[in-house]
């Protein structure tokens, strides 16, 4: 299995850590992926996720916006900042409509994270501390750009750079913890590379990498074209996600 060299840095391999103050905002970096995902449930498109992933020497930044199709009422945004050593720096989810709410997740130290939930701008946030490592990936509800980053990390764990500059990979079935900010709890996933599959994609024959992402009672089949997530299928939830 060969993967593009752009994969590994944002895939959160351990690089030399860079210390930043809480007030620092990451400078714009190189865009490694961007686009939109259509979220389809029972054959109907119910939401669209628009995302952008930037990489620089200090902090990798993943931003996304989720809009409902029906009436366009609910608008949500997320920003995930990941330090160069692969640990979470900050995660912020905001809802602007129909109500205003916010969830912030930050490391307390290497072994604990703090989750701050604000449901009213005039009230103090409700803070909880969780025994979760700062290196644990974030996988929030309905954000498939985060699933792409999760699979990059999984691939990086089993890949090495070859003399030609590509990636030689031996991807074994792996159990990986993730933290869901909305549920406020960690979850253990099983990730598995299922091989390659030839598909017709936007009028072209493509050989794609197929993965299984399994949680308790639910399995998602995920197709990547190179390092780009293009399709997710969750049969138990009658859900399909397609890159536009």
pLDDT band, residue 159 (cuts 50/70/90): confident
The CA angle 152-132-84, to the nearest 5 degrees, is 45
Sign of CA dihedral 192, 198, 199, 202: positive
CA distance 211 to 172: 11
Q: How confident is the model at residue 217 (pLDDT cuts 50, 70, 90)?
A: confident
Q: What is the pLDDT of residues 81-99, one digit of tens each?
A: 998 888 999 999 998 877 7
CB hemisphere CA count around 211 (13 angstroms) = 31
Would you state the structure tokens that stand for residue 236, as one six-digit string?
């138990």
Tokens 């054959």 belong to which residue? 43
pLDDT tens digits, one per residue of 97-114: 777 899 999 999 989 999
Higher-confidence residue of 152 and 162: namely: 152
Three-class DSSP category at 156: helix
213 within 8 A of 4, measured Cβ to Cβ: no
User: What length does the chain have?
Assistant: 244
Contacts (Cβ under 8 Å, ≥6 apart) of 202: none
pTM: 0.86
pLDDT at 21 over 80: no
pLDDT exceeds cutoff 90 at 121: no
Distance CA 91, CA 127 (A): 14
Res 4: pLDDT: 40
Mean pLDDT of 41-58: 92
164-177 pLDDT, tens per residue? 877 778 889 999 99
Residue 205 predicted with pLDDT over 50: yes
> Which residue has better confidence, 31 or 162?
31
- The rounded distance, in Å, linking the Cα atoms of 244 and 231 is 10
CA distance 16 to 6: 18
């Amino acid at each position: 299995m060969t993967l593009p060299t752009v994969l590994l840095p944002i895939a959160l391999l351990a690089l030399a850590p860079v210390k930043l103050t809480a007030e620092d905002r990451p400078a714009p970096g190189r865009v490694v992926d961007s686009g939109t995902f259509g979220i389809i449930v029972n054959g109907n498109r119910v939401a669209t996720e628009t995302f952008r992933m930037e990489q620089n020497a200090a902090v990798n930044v993943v931003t996304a916006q989720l809009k409902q199709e029906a009436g366009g009422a609910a608008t949500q945004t997320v920003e995930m900042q990941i330090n160069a050593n692969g640990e979470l720096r900050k995660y912020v989810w905001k809802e602007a409509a129909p109500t205003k709410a916010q969830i912030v997740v930050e490391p307390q130290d290497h072994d604990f994270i703090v989750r701050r939930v604000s449901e009213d701008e005039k009230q103090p946030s409700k803070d909880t501390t969780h025994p979760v490592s700062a290196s644990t990936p974030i996988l929030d509800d309905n954000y498939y750009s985060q699933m792409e980053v999760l699979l990059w990390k999984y691939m990086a764990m089993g890949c090495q750079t070859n003399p030609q500059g590509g990636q030689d990979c031996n991807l074994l079935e792996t159990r990986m913890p993730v933290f869901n900010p909305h549920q406020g709890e960690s979850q253990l996933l099983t990730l598995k590379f299922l091989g390659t599959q030839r598909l017709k994609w936007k009028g072209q024959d493509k050989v794609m990498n197929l993965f299984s992402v399994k949680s308790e009672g639910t399995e998602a089949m995920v197709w990547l074209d190179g390092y780009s997530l293009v399709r997710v299928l969750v049969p138990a939830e009658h859900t399909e996600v397609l890159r536009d």
